[in-house]
Structure 1
Amino acid sequence: MSKTYTDLYRHALNGPTMGTRWSALFLAPSGFEIAPVKAALQVAVEKVDMQMSTWKPDSDLMRLNAAPTDTWTPVPEELFHVLQTGLEIGRMSGGAFDIGMGDAVRAWGFGSEDADPVRIQAALGMKRHAAHEVLELDHAGRRMRKHAPLALDLSGIAKGFGVDRLAETLIGFGIRDALVGIDGELRALGLQPDGSPWVIAVEEPDIRIRTPYSILALQDAAVATSGDYRHWIEVGGRHLSHTMDPRRGGPLQDAPASVTVVAQTCMEADAWATALMVLGTNHGIALAEEHGLSALFLKRAGNDIVPTGVGPLFRAQAPMSLNSFTTSSRATPI
C-alpha cells in the first residue's frame, strides 16, 4: 500500500554557498535518514563553488583565467559542461550572454575587489571579442584554450547549475518531488504531495522591500530572474545594475527592471534571463520568441511596472498581477 500525504514529513534543509544559501524542500516518510541527504547537498554545491568561483583564488575557473593563451588546459567535468552551455547561449544570443566579462565585473566592484576607476576606464575602452569567439573547447580531451586574453566569469550561470546539482542529488536519493534553490534561482521536481504544483513568487523589482509581484506554479521546471534591484551600485546618483553589458564593458543602461525565464534546467534559465536583460525589452522579446523561450519582462514606467510576457507560459496572461497571474508548466528543452 502506497504512502499517503499524512504519512510524509516536511523537511526544509539549507546551508551556505556562493555568498548566499541553498535550500531544499521536500517530504519523506517517517524514518527517512535526512543527515546523509543534507551532507550530500552541501558537498554538491561546494564542488560547484570550488570549480566556478571568482572569489576563491584557487578555484578551477581562476586557474583557467591564469592560463596562457593558445595553451590547452584540462577542465573538470562540471565546469566543462557549464562553459559549453555558456558558450552555446552566447552564440544563440549574439553575444548578449558573455562569460568573458570578468574584468568588467571586478572593475565595477561586483567581484571580490572594490571598484577601481582606472580598471573601469580600461573595461569601458577595451575592444572585446565575445567568449564564444576566442574560447575553444576540446570535447574529447575535456580541455580548453584561449586564443586571446579572456577573464572568465560565470556569475550569470553558475548558481543555476548549482540548483540543478541540488535537484540531481535529491533524485539520487530517490526524492523526485521537491523544490530546490540558491538565492532566488529555483527548480521544481514533480509535484507537492497533494498533487498541486510548487508555487513560487516572482519578486516586485523594488530595491527597498521584498514583495511578490506575480505567482508561478511549476512542475518539472526551473525559473531564474535577472534584475537591477538586488545587486547594484550608485554612481553619480545613478542606480547601476550588476549585470554587465558586453557592448560597453559596464553596467546595463535603460534595461528592464527584471527578466524572469522558465526553462527545463536552472542553468539555462539563469543564462537566458541574463541574455534577455542585456538585450532589453524589444530585442529581448524578439530573441525569446525566436527560440521559443517563456519569459516575463518587467519594465518601469514612472511609478508603475509594465509587464510583457513571451512564450506559452506568459503570453496569454495579461495584465499579470499577484492576484491574476498563475501558470503551471512542464518545461520543454531549449
Structure 2
Amino acid sequence: MTLHFWRAGILLALTLLTGCDPAPPAAEQQSVLEGKTMGTFWRVSTPAITAERAQALRVKIQARLDGDDQLLSTWKSDSALMRFNDSTSLEPWPVSEAMADIVTTALRVGAKTEGAMDITVGPLVNLWGFGPDKQPVKTPDQSQIDTAKARTGLQHLRVINQAQQQFLQKDLADLYVDLSTVGEGYAADHLARLMEQEGISRYLVSVGGALVSRGMNAQGTAWRVAIQKPTDSENAVQAIVDINGHGISTSGNYRNYYELDGKRISHVIDPQTGRPVEHKLVSVTVIAPTALEADAWDTGLMVLGKEKAQAVVQREGLAVYMISREGDRFTTWMSPQFSAFLLSEKN
C-alpha cells in the first residue's frame, strides 16, 4: 500500500515565493519565519524586523502553536480534546473558551451543510486510516462502517455556556470528536492575533492550508495568495487572489490519500455513507472573515460535491472557488462573492 500524505489544498503565498515580484528596496526587505506544527508547516511573513526581534517572535509563535496542538490534537493522548474523548462521562465537561468557540463554529457550519461538516466523524476517519490508527490492510466492510457510524453524529454533542464557564457535553459515552478539519484555521487566526499583540499590523500568516493577511507587504502592495492546481504531480497555480484582510482555506482530495485494493482512498469522508467521497469535486477554497470559518466551510462543501455545494454557497452567500475534474481536464466555478477577491485565473 502506498501512502501519500500532504495537507490537501495547499495555498501558496505568492509574496513569499521568489520571482513573483521585483526585490523590494533594502530598507523594506521582508522577514519570513517558518516552523512545524500539527503535522504541517507554519509560516509568517512581515516587512523586515531585526534579527533579535525575529528570534523572539519565532519563539512566541512556536509556543502559541504548541499550545494549540496541545489543545486540539488527536495524536496526543494528554491533549485537552483527547481527555474529553477518552472520558465516558455524559456530564458537562469544562473546556476553554477557545475550545468552545471552535466547536460552536463547527456545529453551526455542520448544521448548514446538513451534517457534511461533522467533527464527530473521527471513528470513520480512524477506520479508514487517516487518524492516529494504522491504515487498514483491506477495505473496511459494511459492518465495520456501520459500527463506526453508530458512534458519530452532531446531534450527540453540544456546547454549554454557563456562569462564564464553557462546557462540552456528549450523550454517547464513546463519542469521538476530531477537530483536525478546523485546527489549522483556528491556529492561523491565533497567529494573526499574536501579530496584533506584538504591534505588527502588516503580515501574512499560514498554518498548513489556512492563511490570514493584514495590511500591505514589504513592497507596499496587497498580499497575494495562489490557489494551487489540484494535482499531486506539480506545484502549479490555478488562480490568484487578494484576500484583503480575510481568512482563506482550501480543502482537496488530491494530496492526502493512499492506494488500497487498486483504488485511491481519499481522506475526505462522507459522514452519511461512512466512506471516502468519490465525486468529481477535487478542491474547494473559501474566503471568510476568519480562517476558522473558511476551514470549516471548505470541509463541508468538499464532502457535499459540486452540485449540493453550489446550492449551499448560493444560499449562504459564501465566497467560494471550486475545481472539479472532468476526465483529463479541470473545470472551475466561483461564486460572485469570490470574484471580488480574484486577481487572475489560469485555466
Q: Could you tell me the TM-score, scaled by structure 2's length? A: 0.85
For residues 137 and 29 of structure 1, the distance between their equivalents in structure 2, rounded to whole angstroms, comes to 41
Letter matched to residue 275 of structure 1: G
* Structure 1, 173-182 or 29-38: larger mean CA deviation: 29-38
Equivalent of residue 204 in structure 2, options 160, 174, 179: 179
Shift of 1:69: 4.3
Q: Aligned ranges for residues 267-278 of structure 1 at < 5 Å?
A: 267-278=292-303
The alpha-carbon distance between structure 1 residues 31 and 247, as it changes in their structure 2 partners (threshold 3 A), is: closer
Q: Which residue does the alignment assign to 1:108?
A: 128
Letter matched to residue 235 of structure 1: L
Q: Which residue does the alignment assign to 2:91?
A: 71
The alpha-carbon distance between structure 1 residues 243 and 123, as it changes in their structure 2 partners (threshold 3 A), is: farther
Q: Which residue does the alignment assign to 2:316?
A: 291
Letter matched to residue 92 of structure 2: W
The alpha-carbon distance between structure 1 residues 120 and 87, as it changes in their structure 2 partners (threshold 3 A), is: farther
For residues 279 and 326 of structure 2, the distance between their equivalents in structure 1, rounded to whole angstroms, comes to 11
Letter matched to residue 200 of structure 1: V
Q: Which residue does the alignment assign to 1:327?
A: none
CA root-mean-square deviation: 2.4
Do the aligned partners of 1:255 and 1:278 also contact (CA within 8 Å) in 2? no
Do the aligned partners of 2:139 and 2:260 also contact (CA within 8 Å) in 1? no
* Structure 1, 23-32 or 200-209: larger mean CA deviation: 23-32
Q: Does 1:138 align with 2:160?
A: yes
Shift of 1:121: 4.3
For residues 305 and 145 of structure 1, the distance between their equivalents in structure 2, rounded to whole angstroms, comes to 43
Say which SS state the counterpart of residue 312 (structure 2) adopts: helix
Q: Which residue does the alignment assign to 2:232?
A: 207
Deviations 1:47-66 (A, max 9, x none): 11101011111111111111
Shift of 1:317: 7.2
Do the aligned partners of 1:51 and 1:61 also contact (CA within 8 Å) in 2? yes
Q: Which residue does the alignment assign to 2:346?
A: 322
Deviations 1:99-135 (A, max 9, x none): 0011111111111221245966455224547643111
The alpha-carbon distance between structure 1 residues 136 and 312, as it changes in their structure 2 partners (threshold 3 A), is: closer
For residues 55 and 171 of structure 2, the distance between their equivalents in structure 1, rounded to whole angstroms, comes to 46
Q: Does 1:125 align with 2:149?
A: no
For residues 108 and 31 of structure 1, the distance between their equivalents in structure 2, rounded to whole angstroms, comes to 45
For residues 21 and 223 of structure 1, the distance between their equivalents in structure 2, rounded to whole angstroms, comes to 16
Q: Could you tell me the TM-score, scaled by structure 1's length? A: 0.89
Shift of 1:15: 1.1
Do the aligned partners of 1:107 and 1:120 also contact (CA within 8 Å) in 2? no
Q: Which residue does the alignment assign to 1:310?
A: 335
The alpha-carbon distance between structure 1 residues 31 and 124, as it changes in their structure 2 partners (threshold 3 A), is: closer
Q: Which residue does the alignment assign to 1:38?
A: 58
Overall identity of the aligned pairs, in %: 30
Q: Which residue does the alignment assign to 1:54?
A: 74
Do the aligned partners of 1:157 and 1:270 also contact (CA within 8 Å) in 2? yes
Deviations 1:25-76 (A, max 9, x none): 0014557722221111111111111010111111111111112242221112
Q: Which residue does the alignment assign to 1:330?
A: none
For residues 134 and 169 of structure 1, the distance between their equivalents in structure 2, rounded to whole angstroms, comes to 34
Q: Which residue does the alignment assign to 1:158?
A: 183
Say which SS state the counterpart of residue 53 (structure 2) adopts: coil
Do the aligned partners of 1:170 and 1:176 also contact (CA within 8 Å) in 2? yes
For residues 164 and 316 of structure 1, the distance between their equivalents in structure 2, rounded to whole angstroms, comes to 19
The alpha-carbon distance between structure 1 residues 178 and 123, as it changes in their structure 2 partners (threshold 3 A), is: farther
For residues 55 and 28 of structure 2, the distance between their equivalents in structure 1, rounded to whole angstroms, comes to 17
Q: Which residue does the alignment assign to 2:27?
A: 7
* Structure 1, 124-133 or 243-252: larger mean CA deviation: 124-133
The alpha-carbon distance between structure 1 residues 122 and 74, as it changes in their structure 2 partners (threshold 3 A), is: farther
Say which SS state the counterpart of residue 157 (structure 1) adopts: helix
Equivalent of residue 107 in structure 2, options 87, 95, 111: 87
Gaps of 5+ in 2: 1-23
Gaps of 5+ in 1: 324-334
The alpha-carbon distance between structure 1 residues 173 and 32, as it changes in their structure 2 partners (threshold 3 A), is: farther
Deviations 1:2-32 (A, max 9, x none): xx97533421001110112110000145577
For residues 288 and 133 of structure 1, the distance between their equivalents in structure 2, rounded to whole angstroms, comes to 23
Equivalent of residue 189 in structure 1, options 214, 218, 242: 214
Say which SS state the counterpart of residue 196 (structure 1) adopts: coil
Letter matched to residue 271 of structure 2: P
Q: Which residue does the alignment assign to 2:11?
A: none
Q: How many residues align?
A: 319
For residues 154 and 192 of structure 2, the distance between their equivalents in structure 1, rounded to whole angstroms, comes to 28
Do the aligned partners of 1:7 and 1:30 also contact (CA within 8 Å) in 2? no
* Structure 1, 274-283 or 68-77: larger mean CA deviation: 68-77
Shift of 1:91: 1.2
Q: Which residue does the alignment assign to 2:116?
A: 96
Shift of 1:82: 0.8
For residues 55 and 30 of structure 1, the distance between their equivalents in structure 2, rounded to whole angstroms, comes to 36
The alpha-carbon distance between structure 1 residues 144 and 30, as it changes in their structure 2 partners (threshold 3 A), is: closer
Say which SS state the counterpart of residue 132 (structure 2) adopts: coil
